[in-house]
Structure 1
Amino acid sequence: MLQCARMFQVEQLIAVVSEKIQEFARETSKYDTSKRATIRKVLRYMDQNYSKGLTLPKVAKVAHMAPSYFSMYFKKEIGENYNQFVNRMKIERAKELLQNPSVKIHEVGTLVGFEDSKYFSRKFRTVTGMTPREYRESISVCKE
């Protein structure tokens, strides 16, 4: 039951984050400045390439900025540092994949761009408070 309650809290958090992203997108469309156009371009690129190694220099190049400047720019515009954002984005994708029991946990990590399954598990736990296996088990308990 505690896991179900935690899952409910996680789902509520996801809903809030999703609403904030949608709100950000609406605001961005209202004020189409070059900075906002750049951040939209970067976020779209990241969304389409999250499993392919989103290094800071590679994404900075998409924005036509030096990596150090892009890092400051990203934090100012998004409100979160680049690496934290990328890891959180990958974990959100992993949570979707973990709902499919036919996909092995180590495969989930690889599919979302983590080459090392132990590192994936560690990052997953940091973001969600549980391991990928615990998360999958809590999903199956809540579905029953």
Structure 2
Amino acid sequence: ADHSIDSGLSLNESAKIRMELINRVYQQQIVNFYSEIKKIVWAYFDKLKNHNREDGAGVAFICRNYIDGNLEKKLTLHEIAEKGNVSKQTLNPIFKKRYGVTVKQYVNNKKIELVKKMLADNKKNLQEISNYLSFVDKSYFVKIFHSITGVTPKKYRHELFDKK
């Protein structure tokens, strides 16, 4: 049930399925418990599969997980779309519907979240951070950081350590 919710099924829909299945189990004398459990699990998967087909949540979820696990790479929309087994043109609307941002915005936001942590660690300079996260170059990295946070990475780091 938790996985179905994490994958995009509404809380109400998941709870409804859960109650239907629990009632079915209690109303029957179960001869083969494992067989019944298997039916319950497959009922969730069928419902989730149909839901994901309808709104693309499964594709968005797969692509988001791929992005989250590969932030240090230079991620392209083509590569991400391939992981979701869809075209580039199909992915962005699905992703935006599910997460409220385009794929590129999501990638940049996640990278900047990581940059903030790296700046707080104060172990790498800006060039090393830019290289590690596969930004085109340091100036592009600074531009993206500034557009998302409103300050430069250097100022962000200084503000962190001036507070301490």
Which bracket does the TM-score occupy, shorter chain normalised?
0.7 to 0.9
**Contact 1:28–1:36, Cα closer than 8 Å, also in 2:** no
How far did 1:60 drift?
A: 0.3
| Percent identity of paired positions between Structure 1 and Structure 2 | 29
TM-score (norm 1): 0.75
How far did 1:29 drift?
A: 4.5
How far did 1:113 drift?
A: 2.3
Quick one: distance in 2 between partners of 1:113 and 1:131? 18
Aligned pairs for 1:41-60 within 5 A: 41-60=62-81
Counterpart position of 1:142: 163
Secondary structure of residue in 2 paired with 1:106? helix
Counterpart position of 2:6: 28
Between structure 1 and structure 2, the one with the greater Rg is 2
**Contact 2:60–2:94, Cα closer than 8 Å, also in 1:** no
Equivalent AA in structure 2 for residue 97 of structure 1: M
Quick one: distance in 2 between partners of 1:124 and 1:29? 30
Quick one: distance in 1 between partners of 2:156 and 2:84? 35
How far did 1:57 drift?
A: 0.6
Aligned: 1:73 with 2:97: no
| Structure 1: 5+ residue stretches without partners | 1-24
CA shift digits 1:11-60 (9 cap, x unpaired)? xxxxxxxxxxxxxx884347244333332221111011112111101000
Aligned: 1:40 with 2:61: yes
Aligned: 1:124 with 2:145: yes
Secondary structure of residue in 1 paired with 2:121? coil
**Contact 2:111–2:133, Cα closer than 8 Å, also in 1:** yes
**Contact 2:63–2:83, Cα closer than 8 Å, also in 1:** yes
Quick one: distance in 1 between partners of 2:8 and 2:105? 27
Cα distance change on mapping 1:133 and 1:30 into 2, 3 Å: closer
TM-score (norm 2): 0.66
Aligned: 1:103 with 2:124: yes
User: Would you say how many aligned residue pairs link Structure 1 and Structure 2?
Assistant: 119
Q: Considering only aligned residues, what root-mean-square deviation do their CA atoms show, in Å?
A: 1.8
Quick one: distance in 1 between partners of 2:4 and 2:145? 29
Counterpart position of 2:43: none
- Name which structure has the greater RCO, CA cutoff 8 Å, separation 6+: 1
Cα distance change on mapping 1:79 and 1:99 into 2, 3 Å: same
